[in-house]
Structure 1
Amino acid sequence: MFRRYRPDRCYIIAEIGGNFTTFEEARRLIDAAAQSGVDAVKLQTYRAETVASRVAMFVMENTGVTSQFDLFKKYEIGAQLHREVFAYAESRNLDWFSTPSHVSDVDFLEQCGVGAYKIGSDDAANLPFLRYVARLQKPVILSTGMCTLEEVHEAVDAIVGEGNRKLVILHAVTSYPTHPENVNLKAIQTLAREFSDFDVGYSDHTLTPVASLCAVAMGARMIERHFTLDRNAEGPDHRLSADPDEMRWLVDAVRSLEVMNGSGIKEPAASEMETRVNNRKSIVLERELAAGCRLTAADLVIKRPGTGIAPKYLEEVVGRTLVRAMGADAVLQWDDLV
């Protein structure tokens, strides 16, 4: 799907779109993202004139009440800066792609040689746009914030209907920031059941990395999180972005979780094979007994180690006869009995 995508690990995306306006800012973000261990960086490709009318307003916690057109205009980036940023991400061996907001953005990204497309939640119900992107037969990452399950089905059908099955579906909540009571991580499992042919993931707009890590534990195969060098910087997305230390923590935690997940087979771990013997219990003698003694329940106790007859056979041992004299705490073996 992507160069760094592997079926045995979660794919982690640092969303840097909206958090830079110059190449130097982007370069520093990409360097920090690479050092954090992420798989990809993602931009946002839009022009204010084609993404929002002049009457559209933001009414969100991170923006306050403000003109969408004016805010988009402030943070849109030009064609040359796109190319420079993509080239630098490539030089750092990161996957790179973007979220377009209009067919003209898609056409431009095709000129840049983009290998995949992220669809923002604002376009999840824009079926003509989904079909346009899907026809390119490149991987599509679909965020589903603000969607009902029926709308997600419509979006998936629009993409698959163009013969494109290279799809990842992300649970998202389009509240900036998203507070814990609105996260609804169980929706990841709902999406996984409903769309079992596709990987599912999570686009995280919360204020900490906890939700992302929990999402991976619940089956997310892809995590997208905004990324910044300074959470106090000017701009609507910095507050809900991971800084380099937080992103490094998240990547390390996810990789540790993947190791800890194991095979799913309930069996003794390799590290338990010795303790399985030493720390389990056996049937042992309570006191010294002579050969030929017929054992009663009072003659027997259950103690460590687990090198002898297992406790589950206690009733079978009672009434047996010792073939030799044995001392207190002797661990019984079957060949000690008749």
Structure 2
Amino acid sequence: MLNNYLQARCYIIAEIGGNFTNFEQAQRLIDEAAECGVDAVKLQTYRAETVASKLALFDMENTGVVSQYNLFKTYEIDEELHHKVFQYIASKKLDWFSTPSHTDDVDMLEKFSISAYKIGSDDAVNIPLLKYIAHQSKPVFLATGMCTMQEVHDSVNAILEAGNEKITLLHAVTSYPTHPENVNLLAMQAMMREFPALAIGYSDHTLGTTACICAAAMGAKVIEKHFTYDKKAPGPDHLLSADPVEMKEIVSKVREFEVMRGSGIKRPADSEKNTRINNRKSIVIVNPIRKGQVIGEQDIIVKRPGYGIEPKFYHQIVGRTANKNLEVDDVLMWGDC
């Protein structure tokens, strides 16, 4: 499935990292995500010692002012739990991968033959890590929160220089939660213009479903959304995560949009074949006309149905001679005059 995500179907990722600390919680999240119809489930792979110093603070709406080290320490998961969770995701026929935060995390994930890497916005300009991940020759999903366009170019170039062209850029806003006035989905389309050879998607931190659905309608090839079974559960990300009702809505609305999007060719829909005949208009006789009589403007009108001579030929019909007797409401055909 992962190899096909650049096709017409939008690739939808349920991010569960940070929303569980044991296998039972992860299992519940995975079961719910599978039921919602997502394509992939993603984790976060970090150790507090290598992701944040003890001086680093969070100061966001979803956390308040707290120690980053302490929060990461609470939600880091060990290698054994990674393995069990990955196996369980695979058993549900879903794709699985993770966001590493350090080269040690990458080395551990490689033990599981991971299929792709997500790079969080915090590491979007961490060139040494980007190159290390790129050298693994796996697809890379690069979140671009907090980035300028030049920084995105720098990061993309670093990955390309490492020999990896399998890059998907994700527009993101690193505010938890992100409020509507800050979403800036046009920036996603700006990246589409700036990087026409790359797939572009959206990693969401808003409350609700609207931003994800709009992003898909604006061309996102990938949608990533945090996922929870309970928005009130302990932990910083549950509040801004989609619950099962919301994730089902995202998946169903995006899939509905994909059907509605169609081929892009302007032509009558299959469902219009009959209505095109019945509801279009033709040139119709309003006065009886005898064979050999010249048809005058007073003898014809434009009205339904649409299987006769088209209205655009109205003035060419005036002055022609009838080839047969024509009665009121006869739909004029080319053989008739």
TM-score calculated relative to the size of structure 2: 0.96
Name the aligned partner's letter for residue 165 of structure 2. Answer: R
Deviations 1:277-299 (A, max 9, x none): 11110010123233333222222
Question: Are residues 1:186 and 2:186 paired?
Answer: yes
- Asked if the contact 1:4/1:39 (under 8 Å) is kept, the reply is no
Question: Are residues 1:126 and 2:126 paired?
Answer: yes
**2:116 aligns to what?**
116
- SS in structure 2 at match of 1:287: coil
**More divergent stretch after superposition (320-329 vs 24-33):** 320-329
- SS in structure 2 at match of 1:302: strand
**More divergent stretch after superposition (152-161 vs 81-90):** 81-90
Q: CA shift at 1:5, angstroms?
A: 3.3
Distance 1:176 1:296 in 2: 74
Distance 1:7 1:71 in 2: 38
Q: CA shift at 1:321, angstroms?
A: 2.2
Distance 1:53 1:150 in 2: 28
CA RMSD of superposed structures (Å): 1.4
- SS in structure 2 at match of 1:257: helix
**More divergent stretch after superposition (283-292 vs 59-68):** 283-292
Runs of 4+ residues over 6 Å off in structure 1: none
**2:154 aligns to what?**
154
- Asked if the contact 2:118/2:140 (under 8 Å) is kept, the reply is yes
- Asked if the contact 1:277/1:305 (under 8 Å) is kept, the reply is yes
Q: CA shift at 1:300, angstroms?
A: 1.6
TM-score calculated relative to the size of structure 1: 0.96
- Asked if the contact 1:180/1:206 (under 8 Å) is kept, the reply is yes
Name stretches of at least 5 consecutive residues in structure 1 with no aligned partner: none
Report how many aligned residue pairs link the two structures: 337
Q: CA shift at 1:185, angstroms?
A: 0.9
Q: CA shift at 1:200, angstroms?
A: 0.8
Distance 2:8 2:150 in 1: 30
**More divergent stretch after superposition (43-52 vs 290-299):** 290-299
- Asked if the contact 1:3/1:95 (under 8 Å) is kept, the reply is no
Question: Are residues 1:279 and 2:279 paired?
Answer: yes
**1:47 aligns to what?**
47
Q: CA shift at 1:324, angstroms?
A: 2.5
Distance 1:8 1:314 in 2: 44
Correspondence list, 1:46-195, <5 A: 46-195=46-195
Name stretches of at least 5 consecutive residues in structure 2 with no aligned partner: none
Q: CA shift at 1:3, angstroms?
A: 5.3
Percent of pairs with identical residues: 61
Q: CA shift at 1:215, angstroms?
A: 1.0
**More divergent stretch after superposition (168-177 vs 271-280):** 271-280
Distance 2:174 2:295 in 1: 72
Distance 1:106 1:259 in 2: 38
